[in-house]
Amino acid sequence: MRLILASTSPARLALLRAAGVEPEVVPSAVDEPATVAQAERVRGRPLTAAEMVLLLARAKAEAVSGRRPAASEDALLLGGDSAFELDGAVYGKPGTAAVARERWIRQRGRTGVLYSGHWLIDLREGAGTGARLDSGRGKVTSASVQFAADLTDAEIDAYVATGEPLAVAGAFTIDSLGGPFIERIEGDPSTVVGLSLPTLRRLVRACGVEWTDLWSPRRPHDAIG
């Protein structure tokens, strides 16, 4: 059984590979700000962080599904998205060094919540594109993240200068250079990376597929070290 990943996130790809899964990566090309803005106009209010990540995860999965051949495939297709919430404000990728630095100054010594949305489409369901667009299973997970209170301005500047926080939700990572600046995590750590592995396992099993069927030919422990 193949897994198609509708995401170009290096962190999600690395997480899946470490868990023994070698997905086919297909960019979704979804206009995220426009998708969120449209949903907010329809609802007449801002989306919550949980609503936003589920909406975008689904949009990414359906965008890729809609471009696949009409014939059914022996594959599952996963869309994912993440956002960070602090004091009721929802943050995605900062995009610029100035914004990333401002966010780190604000969140230093504090605790926020990282949300990750998942949308899984079984490409074996229905031979036509229209049937696929109506299928899928979604789930949002969250984990609280406490940032180090003794983080210095010099450390923040050095971290921002690496460019790493500019392209990740909340302007931080736990599995790379940002890890030493995180004091504590409550919840599934892989949620903070951008993809909850336990949640994905349950979504896969809900499709009638065993998680181990997604393992690449090499054994899982071969993917580490």
Residue pair 111/144 in contact (Cβ under 8 Å)? The answer is yes
Size (the chain), residues: 225
d(CA 89, CA 194): 19
Tokens of residue 188, six digits: 């599934």
Residue pair 119/138 in contact (Cβ under 8 Å)? The answer is yes
d(CA 175, CA 172): 9
Which residue do the tokens 């996130």 mark?
A: 9
Residue pair 110/89 in contact (Cβ under 8 Å)? The answer is no
Residue pair 181/155 in contact (Cβ under 8 Å)? The answer is yes
Residues labelled as active-site residues: 81
Alpha-helical regions (H) of 108-214: 129-133, 153-161, 189-193, 197-206
**DSSP class of 170:** G
Is the backbone of residue 171 left (phi > 0), alpha (psi -120 to 50) or beta?
Answer: left
